Every structure is written in structure tokens, then in C-alpha cells.
Amino acid sequence: MLSGAGWRYFGGRVVAGVATLWMVSVLVFAALHLVPGSYAEIVLGPFSSPQARAALTSEFGLDRPLVLQYAEWLRHLIVGDLGSSLGTGEPVTSQLVRRWPVTAELAMLSLLVTVVVGLPLAVLAGLARGRLGRGLSRLLGSSAMSTPDFVIGSLLVYVFSRFSLGLSGGEYVSLTADPLGNMRSMVLPALTLSMFGVALLVRTGRDAVVNVFSSPHVMAALARGESMAHVIRHHVLRNAAVPVLTVLGTYVGYLMGGAVIVENLFSLPGLGQSVLSAINGRDYAVVQGMVLVAAAAFIAINLLADFAYGLVDPRIPAGHRG
Amino acid sequence: MGTQLGEPVSVDAIGLPGGSVARRGSRSWRLPFRGDVLSRVGLFILLVFVLVSVFGRWLPLGDAEAVNAGPRLAAPSGHWWAGTDSLGRSVLPRLVQGVGTTFVLAGIAVLVTAVISVVIGMVAAYYRGVVGEVIVRGADVLFAFPSLLLAILLVAITGPGMTGALVSIVLICSPLMVRVVRAASLSVVGRDFVVAARVGGASPVRVLAVHVLPNVAGAAVVQATYALSVGMLIESGLSFLGLGLQPPKASLGSLVHEGAVYLPIAPWLVLIPGGLLALAIMAVNLVGDGLRDALDVRGVEVRR
């Protein structure tokens, strides 16, 4: 099915992704060594004896050359060992396993809302011809793009609690214990996070739809008498898919940061909360591990988006575009 | 094209809007963003915010950090225009201080970003060999970090405070700006007037400063405007998480953070700074849109 050029495109993407991931790992490793104060001082406290510090330093091999330390760290990474929390001694991986379902559920719900609400709105905004419609969609899109997520979240919490609308933030219920209660506690966080996604999708999708609509083949299809619904499904959506996919890739990157803020605002026990408490507790191992995993996930998702481009638009792997 | 050999395209030719730059012939002052009402409104709001953030400290509004200046959690009224917070501090001067912090911090960070990125971007376009490749790959790696996570990694190193926020904004906004400036430069460095200048013996510094820079200035200005809004989002996000400017100093984000606990009983503590923040960022974005359309710049993007 794939031509030589297609294989080269997909292969090239994978190689580029792995190379980026490797450089990210170097950067994250270097970041930990830029932290003021030695590791022994952080673990043993500022009043520890020099002997104890020296013992710890040599026990963990921190007196060895940096390159060797990096190689050792990388070896552990590859077998899935992200180190342990400096505070509790719990392995970072077990914290990840415990916490990721909350964050993943939040991200999935937000993505779902974004696509379900944003896509029809983008098409509608693209079809709107009037001056008023364009101005209105620009104003709405611009305000949703500009309002920080924690402001949107606070506003939602305020409105829902002020008028007792039945949903509230702050009481997280796990999905397995009470699916309905879980949904109730997840709706507001997911809405908060999807606001930016919807705005982004409308903004980009609108331009894409307008562009496709002004191209000759759509004119021809309309002139042939094909129905509007048919034209939108077969000509517009498919051609608008590439910019929309790009935007969704960007949105996933935003989600990872946004999750930290929204989990904090709604007290959801996800990965964002553990990163935040790790920073406040100076637990560098946890920060390092989580940031690395998040960056890896982001790279992987963008790789998937690259693959999806290839499937949606065969011109890209063939090297005619992008 | 109106461009002569070796002659740089002047800012006028790019069509920079604004009263300060007279268009060819007409020297009369004209409102910027003709036919773009939203951008004009944005520009006006932005000017008000900038004035407040620069001169706000001299307004006679009272002390932003004086505890027990009034009753606790008083609602906005004739005497306490924006109410008081949980420590009995008047909120209005704190809001003014917060606006100042957010604008000044993001503004400085974006200036630094712009200078660094314009130089690096032009160099990457001019030396397309190893140097250019290294710069592009470096930008890609920074790009591979979701922005707030990069900020969090940096704050973990520097500790909570202003330095972390500044470095974060610079590192998050630079990759995109380097990319945009490089793309704009690439379309110029191959043109005849640049080649002629090089053949004529102009040094690389001269070629970049005199011949390339004026042609990428428009794209850089638009991207910098968007970077300002991203910078304000990052600063306020970090402050909201308690990782930005430390109390008792106020930023709009930290005001929302401090007020969040009292949301049900004292909503003004959250809604006023939150609303101001949204308004300020929106004004910046609208001005960015207006500049983009007026300068007819393509390829800039917003990332958050």
C-alpha cells in the first residue's frame, strides 16, 4: 500500500521522534544537575555531616563523570526505572501508575468535548458569510483563547455553586467506585480544559473551511447540484482535516500543562497534583520523571498525528507538501 | 517589486500601521487598524493597561500591602472600590500592582525573547549549514515540551519566584519566534539585493542588520505581540500555582490564587482579577490580529 516515499516519510518521522526524545532526556538530566545544592545536601538536609554526605555521594556514584552518570540513568530509564521519590521513597513509576487514570480520563473527556463541540462550530463559522457573524465568531474565539483556564474554571465553579446547578468542583469520586458520581465531578474540569481547545479548533477550522469552500472543485460540486451535506462531508471535512489534526496536536500539548492547573483548582488526585507537590517539596526525582514521561507522551502523540496526516492526505508522505 | 538592489525595504514600504509612522505622502496622523473595530478597541484597552502598569504606583489608592487597612472580606462599595481581602487589605491597589507585575514581567521577558530570537533566527537562515541545522534542532527539542511543563521543570531548578517565570517565558516563546524569523529570513537571503550586497563585500553583520532585518521586522513584531499574550498566560499560570512572584507582592494570577478559597463568600476576590487578566490578554491578542492583517504577515501562530 505504501510507496517507497511513504515508508521514507513514516520512517523519517519515527527517527526524528526518537532523536528528539533522546535530546529531551539529555536536557532533563542536565536540568537536575543545575539544581543548586548537591544531591546529598538535599537528601540529608543542610546540617548533615560532611562524612555522611561523602558516603551518600559515593554510594550513588555521584562522584563519577557526568557522562557515566547519564549512561547509568539512561540504562535505568530504558528498563522503566524512573528512580524513587526523595521524600517517601516510593518509586516514581508506581506513583505514575496510581495517578495516571485520573489525568488520562480528564484529557480524554476534554478532547472529546473539544471535537464534538468544536468541529461543528468550526464548519458553521466557516459557512457564516455575514460581517456580524464573522465579527461575533472572532470575538468569541478570541475571548476563549485569551481567558486563562483557572479563570474559566473559577467562573464555572462560581456560577454552578451560586445558582445550585448540581455540579460542583472539589469532591473527586473514582470511576470504579461510582461512575455517575465520577462523571459529575469530572464535567466542570473537562469543560474548563476544552474551552481553549474549542476556540483553537474554531479559529483554525474556520480558515480551513473558508479556504476549501473557495476552491474550484467545491464550486464544481455545488454547481453539479450535490447537496450541501454531501459536499461538506466529502470535500470540505477531508481537506480541512490536516490543519485540524495539527491543532489537536497543539491542544494535547496544552492539555498537559492545563491538567496541572485544573487538577489544582478542582483538587483532582492526578499527575498534575503530584508534580506540583513534588516541586513544593523539592522532590526533584519525581519532577524529572513526570516531565520526562509527559514529554515522551507528547512526542508520541505528535508522531501519531504525523501518521494520520499521511493517511488523510497522501500528498504529504509522497513529499509534495510539508 | 519596488525593491532596488542593495536598498533595504523601509518600514514604510512594509506598511507599519500607527500614527508614528507616516505613510508615503500623507503626513497627517491617522488611527491605526482602518476598518478593524475590534483591534482598535483592543489597542485602546491595551494602552490603558500599559499606562496603569507604568504609572499605577503613583495613583493615590492606598497601600497594596497594608494589613488590616479595613474590614476583612468587605464587598466592593463606595469606600472599598474593589473590596478587601482576607487580611483586610484593600484590593484596588493590589489589582494595580498585579497589572503592573503581569505586564512588566511579561514585557521584559518578551523583549529578551525578541532580541535573542531575531538574532538566532536570522543567523540560522544565513548560515544554512551545520549552524542552521543545530539551531533548528534545538528549537525542535524545546518545542517538544508542553509549555507549562517546561516552565515547571525550570521552576524546579530556580525555585519559585520571578527568575523562574522570566526564564520560562523566554524559553517557551523563543522556539516559535526563531522559527518564524528564520522562515521570513530564508525568503530574503536568496534575493538579488542581498546577493548583490554580499558580492559587494558587505560583512554578514551588515547584511543581516541592514538588508534582512527590515524585511523580517513585521513578522517579528506580530509574533512578539502574540508572545506577550503567551507570556502573560504563563506568568499568571505560574502565579496561580503559587510558583511565580511570592507574597506579599501581587500579580493578577496570585490574586486569583489567594481569592480562590473564598470564592463562595467573596467572589470579587477572584472574578475581578480574573476578568482583568482575560481582558488584558484579549486586548493584546486583538492588537496582534490587527497587526498581522495590517502587515499582511503569514506563518505566525499562537501557542499556549
Q: How confident is the model at residue B5 (pLDDT cuts 50, 70, 90)?
A: very low
Q: How far is B69 from chain A (nearest CA, A)?
A: 27
Q: How confident is the model at residue A322 (pLDDT cuts 50, 70, 90)?
A: very low
pLDDT of residue A319: 62
Q: How confident is the model at residue B25 (pLDDT cuts 50, 70, 90)?
A: very low
DSSP H or E segment with residue B282: helix B268-295
Q: How far is A200 from chain B (nearest CA, A)?
A: 9
Q: CB-based contact (8 Å) between A300 and chain B?
A: no
DSSP A271-305: HHHHHHHHHHTT-HHHHHHHHHHHHHHHHHHHHHH
Q: CB-based contact (8 Å) between A155 and chain B?
A: yes
Among A125-139, A268-282, B70-84, top mean pLDDT goes to: A268-282
Q: How confident is the model at residue A173 (pLDDT cuts 50, 70, 90)?
A: confident
pLDDT of residue B48: 93
Across the interface, do A294 and B146 touch by the CB < 8 Å criterion?
yes
ipTM: 0.83
Does pLDDT of A258 surpass 50?
A: yes
For residue B21, being part of any structural domain is answered with no
The boundaries of the domain holding residue B234 are 98-296
Q: Which residue of B has its CA nearest to A265?
A: B260
For residue B160, being part of any structural domain is answered with yes
Mean pLDDT over residues A147-154, rounded? 91
- CB contact residues (below 8 A), chain A span 242-281, against chain B: 250, 253-258, 260-261, 264-265, 275-276, 278-280
pLDDT of residue A131: 73
Does pLDDT of A67 surpass 80?
A: yes
pLDDT of residue A70: 85
- The three grid cell numbers given for residue A108, joined into one nine-digit string: 480524554
Q: How far is the CA of B32 from the CAs of B20, B120, B253, in angstroms? A: 10, 31, 31
Mean pLDDT over residues A289-296, rounded? 87
* Total beta-carbon pairs less than 8 A apart between chain A and chain B: 147
Across the interface, do A280 and B237 touch by the CB < 8 Å criterion?
no
Across the interface, do A31 and B289 touch by the CB < 8 Å criterion?
no
Across the interface, do B148 and A256 touch by the CB < 8 Å criterion?
yes
Peptide bond connecting A120 to the previous residue in cis, omega within 30 degrees of 0: no
Q: How far is A118 from chain B (nearest CA, A)?
A: 18
Q: Is B90 helix (H, G, I), strand (E, B) or coil?
A: strand
Across the interface, do A298 and B271 touch by the CB < 8 Å criterion?
no
What is the C-alpha to C-alpha distance for residues A320 and B118, in angstroms, rounded to an integer? 29
For residue B55, being part of any structural domain is answered with no
Mean pLDDT over residues B36-61, rounded? 87
Q: How far is B70 from chain A (nearest CA, A)?
A: 25
Among B12-16, B46-50, B241-245, top mean pLDDT goes to: B46-50
Q: CB-based contact (8 Å) between A297 and chain B?
A: no
CA-nearest of A127, A314, A310, A312 to A205 is: A127
Across the interface, do A31 and B157 touch by the CB < 8 Å criterion?
yes
Chain B residues lying within 8 Å of A161, measured CB to CB: 263-264
Mean pLDDT over residues B51-55, rounded? 88
What is the C-alpha to C-alpha distance for residues A266 and A172, in angstroms, rounded to an integer? 8
Which pLDDT tens digit goes with each residue over A87-118?
Answer: 777 888 888 888 888 999 999 999 999 999 99
For residue B69, being part of any structural domain is answered with no
pLDDT of residue A151: 93
Q: CB-based contact (8 Å) between A142 and chain B?
A: yes
Mean residue pLDDT across chain A: 82
For residue B77, being part of any structural domain is answered with no
For residue B233, being part of any structural domain is answered with yes
Across the interface, do A142 and B38 touch by the CB < 8 Å criterion?
yes
Chain B residues lying within 8 Å of A155, measured CB to CB: 271, 274
Chain B residues lying within 8 Å of A143, measured CB to CB: 278, 282
pLDDT of residue B148: 84
Does pLDDT of B22 surpass 60?
A: no
For residue B156, being part of any structural domain is answered with yes
Across the interface, do B253 and A148 touch by the CB < 8 Å criterion?
yes
* Domains: count for chain B: 1
Q: Which residue of B has its CA nearest to A33?
A: B157
Main-chain dihedrals φ then ψ at residue A91, nearest 5 degrees: -60, 140
Residue carrying C-alpha cell 562522584: A63
Q: Give the domain CATH number at B260.
A: 1.10.3720.10
Q: Is A119 exposed, middle or buried (0-12, 13-18, 19+ CB in 10 A)?
A: middle
Which pLDDT tens digit goes with each residue over A194-250?
Answer: 998 998 888 888 888 888 888 888 888 888 988 888 888 888 888 888 888 888 888
Q: CB-based contact (8 Å) between A31 and chain B?
A: yes
Q: CB-based contact (8 Å) between A160 and chain B?
A: no
Which pLDDT tens digit goes with each residue over A14-24?
Answer: 888 888 888 88
pLDDT of residue B28: 58
- The three grid cell numbers given for residue A24, joined into one nine-digit string: 529531551
Instruction: Give me the amino acid identity at A204.
Output: T
pLDDT of residue B18: 42
For residue B231, being part of any structural domain is answered with yes
Chain B residues lying within 8 Å of A165, measured CB to CB: none
CA atoms within 13 A on the CB side of B80: 22
